[in-house]
A and B are shown apart, each in its own frame.
Chain A
Amino acid sequence: MVVFEKPHALTDVPLHYCPGCTHGIVHRLVAEVIDELGIEGKTIGIAPVGCSVMAYNYFNCDMIEAAHGRAPAVATGVKRANPENIVFTYQGDGDLASIGMAETVHSAARNENITIIFINNAIYGMTGGQMAPTSLPGQITQTSPYGRDTNHCGFPIKVCEMLAQVDGAQYLERVAVNNVKNVKNAKKAIKKAFQNQVEGKGFSLVEVISTCPTNWGLTPKKALEWVDEKMIPYYPLGVYKDNTAEKEAE
């Protein structure tokens, strides 16, 4: 009996991510959910600019590569064109919370019936480890070599907390993928975020605290620990908004 194997929605293309980078875990969870909901044939994924720019090679569903930060706008177009399609974006912190902040907030405000998978690893990975909108206070990066000085360049943005204030947003949860328990919870959240769309329940975003061993300067194992020690205290896990239960009661 097969206990575990690669989901169908994930292609056989080797992932280009660095060893130990948890992007791959999140990709697999998304693919497992697509398999379990039986929606691969009608799902359209939108890849961002950033480390996951080549996500279009890794999912077997139709894929679109968007300009930096614009994935929610592209998703809006796709969903408005074909509402029966299941449309998800997969975006990093620079893409979603910096250059694409307007697209993020307004797609939530419009309650677009889409699913956003938001990878928060507190760094710009693809360009070599610059300060991200979610880099922690004091965090050393290539462009904050003395540590992020909040007097000089401000504070990290807490996306789930912020979007919880937007009426249009229906489901917001922050999860992590740094241990087996957290991965299982992340899968549940991602599944709910897709299920919501299938049921027409509206804008769902799952923020996934992920690792960047290379640019954090840590081994893959230490990077998982750093999530517990540094990231989760600043970015507490949990459900920040869930209007979908109410909708069921209606």
Chain B
Amino acid sequence: MAKLTFKTDKCKGCGLCVDVCPKKVLTLATDKINAKGHHPVEAVNEEACIACAFCATMCPDCIIKVER
């Protein structure tokens, strides 16, 4: 099973990872605000993750670690 780790405090909530995910695993946590004042990304459907790393590929801030 794939495992996603986020450096949540460095997330700027741009959402590029959310848009690119083919399995709709990710969302911006509108109920949370990180240290930078953004709604950070979180995995809401991690079991669907296929570890394609598209999210990490498009993340400008390099906050996502993908393991399989």
Q: A19-B12, A220-B15, A221-B16 are in contact. Are A24 and B54 (CB under 8 A)?
A: no
0 or 1 for each of A23-44: is its CB under 8 Å from B? (1 = yes):
1110110000000000000000
Interface centre among A14, A21, A22, A224 (most CB of B within 10 A): A14
Is there a chain A Cβ closer than 8 Å to B29's Cβ? no
Which residue from A10, A19, A22, A179 sits with its C-beta under 8 Å from B62? Answer: A10
Docked Cα-Cα span, A104 to B56, in Å, equals 32
Of the candidates A5, A22, A184, the one having the most CB atoms from chain B within 10 angstroms of its own CB is A5
* Closest residue of A by beta carbon distance from B18: A221
How large, as a class, is the contact surface on chain B?
Answer: 20 to 34
Task: Evaluate whether A3 and B51 lie within 8 angstroms (CB atoms) in the complex, with A23-B60, A183-B57 already known.
Answer: yes
Across the interface, B61 reaches (CB within 8 A) one of A2, A24, A213, namely A24
- At the interface, yes or no: B24 with Cβ under 8 Å from chain A? no
Centre residue among B20, B51, B62 by max chain A CB count within 10 A: B62
Count CB-based A-B contacts (< 8 Å).
71
Q: A2-B65, A4-B65 are in contact. Are A19 and B57 (CB under 8 A)?
A: no
With A1-B67, A2-B65, A5-B65 as known contacts, state yes or no: A220 contacts B57, CB within 8 Å: no
How many whole Å from A24's CB to the nearest CB in chain B?
A: 3
Question: Which residue in chain B gives the minimum CB-CB distance to A6?
Answer: B62
Task: Let me know if B56 and A221 touch, CB within 8 A.
Answer: no
Q: Is B58 an interface residue (CB 8 A)?
A: yes
Partner of B15, one of A15, A179, A221: A221
Q: A2-B66, A4-B64 are in contact. Are A184 and B57 (CB under 8 A)?
A: yes
Chain B residues with CB below 8 A from A14, complex form? 10, 36, 61
Contact pick for B68, options A1, A25, A179, CB 8 Å: A1
Q: Which residues of A contact B2 (CB under 8 A)?
A: 3
Answer yes or no: A245 CB below 8 A from chain B CBs. Answer: no
Chain A residues near B51: list those with CB within 8 A.
3
